[in-house]
A = this chain, B = another copy of it.
Amino acid sequence: MAEYNVAPLSRLIEQFERLPGIGHKTATRLAYYILSMPHSEAQKFADAVLDAHKKIHYCKICCNLTDSEICSICNDDRRDKSIICVVEDPRDVIALEKTREFKATYHVLHGVISPLNGITPDMIKIKELLARLNNESVKEVIMATNATVEGEATAMYISKLIKPFGIRVTRLAYGIPVGGDLEYADEVTLSRALQGRCEI
């Protein structure tokens, strides 16, 4: 009623609604919050959106997001360049970096092969990965795609392409999550945990 008579406001609500996980009520709350900001703060917000969009692109080597030509991980001399960890998404890099244990490099696919969604192998960064295997002295590729059907299929597909290079291909271990309850683990996870058991 009164709402759609104020066009700039409903346009702003509409824009917020398009973001993932933001419904109409949240979008409305956010839009009103934006209106209540001082103008300089709203300007900062809009600038951050455009700035990120303008300056951020893919690293020439690993396809992770960066604002320079080569990302800080690929640029780091202390990193072991002979191991490449292949992930689906830049957020997976952040998750793995949080372990503070992995000191090698990454390759971001930006998606997984998914014929049902029309994602074919040439639409994700597989070519770029194979080019790296040709040029660099890579000894191991760790497939760290998600443990979903598509993630598994993508890992399989890529590992078959890497075989001819004579490079070792590994996959993240399956098992019960730390702190997890056996009672609530599904049977596939449990049987994988049994298969992967190791001596203590």
A residues whose Cβ falls under 8 Å from a Cβ of B: 1-3, 5-9, 11-12, 14-15, 18-22, 26, 28-35, 37, 39, 42-56, 64-67, 71-73, 90-91, 93-94, 97-98, 100
Interface pairs (19), CB distance under 8 Å: A1-B94, A1-B98, A1-B100, A2-B72, A2-B73, A2-B97, A5-B71, A6-B67, A12-B52, A14-B48, A15-B44, A20-B30, A22-B30, A35-B56, A35-B65, A37-B53, A42-B53, A46-B47, A46-B50
* Contact (Cβ within 8 A) A91 B28: yes
Across the interface, which residues of B come within 8 angstroms of A5, CB to CB?
A: 66, 71-72
Across the interface, which residues of B come within 8 angstroms of A9, CB to CB?
A: 52, 56, 65, 67
* Contact (Cβ within 8 A) B29 A21: yes
* Contact (Cβ within 8 A) A90 B32: yes
Stoichiometry (number of copies) = 2
Partner of A48, one of B12, B39, B71: B12
Across the interface, which residues of B come within 8 angstroms of A100, CB to CB?
A: 1
Across the interface, which residues of B come within 8 angstroms of A18, CB to CB?
A: 45
The distance in angstroms between the C-alpha atoms of A47 and B45, with both chains bound, is 11
The distance in angstroms between the C-alpha atoms of A24 and B44, with both chains bound, is 18
A55 to chain B, nearest CB (A): 4
Partner of A65, one of B6, B39, B97: B6
The distance in angstroms between the C-alpha atoms of A105 and B53, with both chains bound, is 44
The distance in angstroms between the C-alpha atoms of A90 and B91, with both chains bound, is 38
